[in-house]
Structure 1
């Protein structure tokens, strides 16, 4: 009787622990159910709508974020560079290329817990579309790293894995048909101090 009770307790512990670990892994992943990937960038277009899948709803509840509806915009998150290597805050990167059409956009870096990274300087660790310098062909080039860079520079400091977040506001990309054939900027690793 004691042996059978012990086996039941062990089976329940494995089931509950394994289930909780698998859900945490899915919620921390930038891939999977409801995700749309464009190069290194991933978005969850249904996250702020009634059509959102249960995992997207759980991400919103767990992180306490204010999700954008389809008519408001779309957030893209990159946790890897264009070569598939994990982004790290002790490395420097160049974000280059063209952006989808949007009335306004923001760009910033976060840690894995989605907390905005500090720059360690007086400069704001984020940027937006009204302060950016464009290339002659209307593309962008943004340096991301700890060392100052001429032109567009997003300062980040510290060590560890990071995400880059690009949020497009009032954009046709947020509609279900707008995601087909869009082009997002590349993320190129320049150097790493690790």
Structure 2
């Protein structure tokens, strides 16, 4: 009798613990149900639409974000560089390449909760399309670092994990037909502070 009760208790602990762990993982991982990947970048194009899957809806509810509708724009998040290494605030990165057509875009460095990194300076850890200097071929080259850099500099600060959030507003890529064949900047690690 005691053996059966213990086996039942162990089965319940495994089932409840395993279920809770799988839900936690599904809500915290950037790649998952409903996600599309472009290089190091991941987006959830159905977020904010009736076609969104339950995990995407749960992520929006948990994070309390105001999701952009499909006609309004699309946000991409990067948690790894182009070499597959996790992004950290201690490292310097170059974001280089072309950006899709959009009326306006923003790029910011984020912490684990996808909030803008607090730099402690008057300069925010964010850039937008009207303030970047473009290359002659209309591509961009942005340096993300805690140390000043010439050209387009995205200030980072602190230590630990970091994400880049690139949001396009009023863009054709937000439609389901615009997602094929898009190109986003590569994220190249330049070096890290010891």
Q: Does 1:163 align with 2:163?
A: yes
Alpha-carbon distance, 1:7 to partner:
2.3
The secondary structure found in structure 1 opposite 2:130 is: helix
- After superposition, what is the alpha-carbon deviation per residue over 1:50-98, rounded to whole angstroms, capped at 9, x for unaligned? 0001111111011111111100000000001111111111100010111
Alpha-carbon distance, 1:150 to partner:
1.3
Match of 2:121 in 1: 121
Q: TM-score, normalised by structure 2?
A: 0.96
Alpha-carbon distance, 1:152 to partner:
0.9
CA-atom RMSD, angstroms? Answer: 1.1
Match of 1:141 in 2: 141
Match of 2:91 in 1: 91
Distance in 1 (alpha carbons) for counterparts of 2:63 and 2:150: 35
TM alignment of 1:14-163, pairs within 5 A: 14-163=14-163
Alpha-carbon distance, 1:5 to partner:
2.4
- After superposition, what is the alpha-carbon deviation per residue over 1:138-171, rounded to whole angstroms, capped at 9, x for unaligned? 1111110100111111101111111100000000
Conserved in 2, the CA contact under 8 Å of 1:120 and 1:156? no
Match of 2:181 in 1: 181
Give unmatched runs, 5+ long, in structure 2.
none
Distance in 2 (alpha carbons) for counterparts of 1:167 and 1:177: 18
Q: TM-score, normalised by structure 1?
A: 0.96
